[in-house]
Structure 1
């Protein structure tokens, strides 16, 4: 039975073996016992360390509550310090070096200035309760200095700043997931899989290879969306596909599938803003080229309902995103 009964999965995800976790737990218990009753290890000291299976792991962070840090990222050319930043959400608790995975979160809103990173703050906070860090990025949008190509190059620059985040926060591991909702899903997929075969709009490949990309209700077939009259998409692209074919060719997810990066596409069955067929088509295309694609259709959910805590699918989607 699927772990969430309101979900239809076109591909069943592999279940992670529990053996490694059991071995680690046994090792920790044996280490603690060997100290005797009067030598209980201190778990809340930043100087503490654990030796697990012969590997010394230093405790590098302790927080009573989650922490949020504003992180500016550099861009090529003139930027906007009011928008070229990301908020780094760090989970509460004790954390050893290299133990916390990172989710790069890209908000949606039709590439328009009316929506911003603050719309995903609650979502980011709830992700941290599942033991991951979240880098919730802002970028210039149509109406706030964005459009072609700044919206896209901003997101690429934010993703390319991740190696600095990893270096500056030693609790973070090298396991990085990109995730986005709606327009943010398109941006996350492009930024995480862009190749140096195209000069539009950013020639360099990403500085990190994502462990996975999660696309939530994404317009993953941009040419079809534009031909169907998606005004927000047409405005950020500067026109329709026939006017700018190279632009669409460069960043349309369905035209740039990358087999080496797993993708999970999650979509509401009642979505009228971005039809679920967009995700179905993308996953079929990814599978056809030998990629690792997984599709989940959420019954009775629309374009954004599953992002709200009142949705019966809310916890399920967060759990999917936090386990990579």
Structure 2
């Protein structure tokens, strides 16, 4: 529980900051949310790339890619290109299963087609996701393990060697069984669908632990006082990974701090990104 002296950061604290703007926006579909914002450092490149995935309970009306603008700008100033993807949430036509997952995959894979134009280094990619985006970032790294019979299967997904989940929800089965998670349990059903005769196991190709082991290195950064994403969701995921994931606990930290430049949580995330690019 939060200490008596700890006051968590609010969304208003972050959203009231002057908003920076990306250097380019790229569409990968007809929907308004099938877009990617590209943040480019100064210089000639080639630039290491942070593949960024926003949260918001997989629900477009809760959050879109713009919630990551401040984190993206901070990384851009540090010399990293940021490929900040958006996707149709469960509340958009075509969202849910398989659309939300197919959007995330298509947005990630489009990075390769734009690498030469924007001087992006495809040998140095780190996926960073916040909250529900932590789940999608890990899922993107798990795509090589998808069954060929899955509607989500693609033969040559973008290789991702490192993933950093910030207050993520990687285990959809546990999330659906945890009414204390800030997204609620109904949204997971809206995301993965209900069991049917043709798809009885809705978690087989959507929940990351079902796709273990991941080839990517996995780092989880979680605030110890996060009241939106229960801390046990991180510890349980790490235990299931059997050494595949590492948990980094940040004290006196809630949920918003994880993507707020200047916070100790965001400084930890930036340090892990730096280490990943130099591993």
TM-score by length of 1: 0.70
Mapping 1:1-324, distance limit 5 Å: 68-73=23-28, 79-92=29-42, 94-96=43-45, 98=46, 100-114=47-61, 115-145=63-93, 146-194=95-143, 195-229=145-179, 230-239=185-194, 245-288=200-243, 291=244, 293-309=245-261, 311-324=263-276
Tell me which of the two structures has the higher relative contact order, counting C-alpha pairs closer than 8 angstroms and 6 or more residues apart.
Answer: 2
1:90-139 CA distances to partner (integer Å, 9 max, x unpaired)?
Answer: 012x334x3x1101100000011221001111110001111110000111
Task: From the superposition, tell whether residues 171 and 305 of structure 1 become closer, same or farther in structure 2 (CA, over 3 Å).
Answer: closer
Q: How has the CA–CA distance of structure 1 residues 275 and 201 changed in structure 2, closer, same or farther, with 3 Å as cutoff?
A: farther
Q: Is the 8 A contact 1:117 1:137 kept in 2?
A: yes
Identify the residue that residue 36 of structure 1 maps to in structure 2.
none
**Structure 2 length-normalised TM:** 0.80
- For the structure 1 residues 154 and 171, does the alpha-carbon distance in structure 2 shift closer, same or farther, using more than 3 Å as the test? closer
- Say if 2:163 and 2:216, in contact at 8 Å, map to a contact too: yes
- Tell me the alpha carbon deviations over residues 184-219 of structure 1, each in whole angstroms, 9 at most, x when there is no partner: 111111122213425334111553211201111111
Report which stretch shifted further, 232-241 or 142-151.
Answer: 232-241
- The Cα offsets for residues 156-190 of structure 1, whole Å up to 9 and x where unpaired, read as 11111121122322353521111111111111111
Distance 1:248 1:174 in 2: 31
Whole-Å Cα distance in 2 between the matches of residues 274 and 296 of structure 1?
15
Q: How far apart are the structure 1 equivalents of 2:259 and 2:102?
A: 26
The whole-number CA distance in structure 2 between the counterparts of 1:198 and 1:233 is 23
Structure 2 match to 1:61: none
User: Number of matched residues?
Assistant: 249
Structure 2: which 5+ residue stretches go unaligned?
1-19, 180-184
Q: Which residue of 1 aligns with 2:16?
A: none
Q: Distance in 1 between matches of 2:155 and 2:274?
A: 25
SS at match of 1:313: helix
1:275, distance to aligned residue in structure 2 (A): 1.5
* In structure 2, distance between residues paired with 1:182 and 1:66: 22
Please give the alpha-carbon distance, in whole angstroms, between the structure 1 residues aligned to 2:200 and 2:273.
33
Whether contact under 8 Å (1:130, 1:322) holds in the other structure is no
Q: Is the 8 A contact 2:36 2:86 kept in 1?
A: yes
Deviates more, 1:184-193 or 1:250-259: 250-259
Distance 1:95 1:319 in 2: 24
